[in-house]
Amino acid sequence: MAELDIDALVFDVLGTLVDEPAGLRAGIRALDPSLDDAGTEPLLLLWQRHIEREQLRILDGDRPYVASDVLDREAAGLVAGSAGVDDPAAVAALARSARRLPPWPDTVAGLARLAERFPLLGLSNASRTALLGLNAHAGLRWHQALSAEDARAYKPDPEVYRLAVTVSGLPPERLLMVAAHAWDLRGAQRLGLRTAYVARPVGDPPTASDRFDLYADGLADLADQLDPRHGRKRPARG
């Protein structure tokens, strides 16, 4: 494989750097402390399906753009209604749980290590306000964090990835998009970014037809592969 020449890293946040389901489960259990795992999981799925469905409707042009905060409030209302909770303050607190997501164990140290060699950009479907809360709660440190709200779209719309290209001032092929979601990396590839898949328990694994530039078991592994002193890279799987 030819040397992977990149000048900056672009990171997905939700699922890649923070454990989104864990944070939402905590919010659901705070809504109704009597819920056990069996009662929590269907409510989590209800939330996730609403967000996915509504983002797709926006991408397809079937709904005008709204920021992630709006979708989170809608999802919280659906979950609370299903749980039989009608307290507006409790619903608002549940919606805010989407900003209180724990980092994966290797996230903070991994970002710090990678930041020694590359500028780091976060690129998230979360709104500007939500991204501020996420970064603060999880202890994420960026050179710059970008929200899809600035493109008034959601990934994998190319205009979201273009934000990173524009802000960095670099050609797309000099940027490495890092994500735990194969669909996200495919979207970045369509705009010409290089790609690195990082395995996470809640991600979207690559298919047999995917060809990403790097595959990593975590951020430490990714940092090793990008460090010329280690002299190793794991290229696209064939």
Comparing 231 with 216, which gets the higher pLDDT?
216
Res 2: pLDDT? 47
Distance CA 32, CA 30 (A): 5
pLDDT tens for each residue of 148-182: 999 999 999 999 999 999 999 999 999 999 999 99
Q: Which pair of structure tokens corresponds to residue 121?
A: 């950009």
Q: What is the DSSP letter of 99?
A: G
Average pLDDT over all residues of the chain: 94
Is residue 24 within 8 A of residue 44, CB to CB? The reply is yes
- What residue ranges do the domains of the chain occupy? 8-19+102-226, 20-99
Q: How confident is the model at residue 230 (pLDDT cuts 50, 70, 90)?
A: low
Is residue 20 within 8 A of residue 126, CB to CB? The reply is no
**Fold category of 8-19+102-226 in CATH:** Rossmann fold (3.40.50)
Nearest CA to 16 out of 201, 213, 220 is that of 201
Distance CA 101, CA 35 (A): 20
Q: In CATH terms, is domain 20-99 a member of 1.10.150? A: yes
Q: Decide if pLDDT at 109 tops 80.
A: yes
Q: Decide if pLDDT at 1 tops 50.
A: no
Enumerate the β-bridge partners of residue 197: 179, 215
Res 235: pLDDT? 52
- Model pTM greater than 0.85? yes
54-58 mean pLDDT: 98
116-133 mean pLDDT: 97
Lowest mean pLDDT among 33-37, 96-100, 231-235: 231-235
Containing 176, the helix (H) or strand (E) segment is strand 175-179
Distance CA 168, CA 163 (A): 8
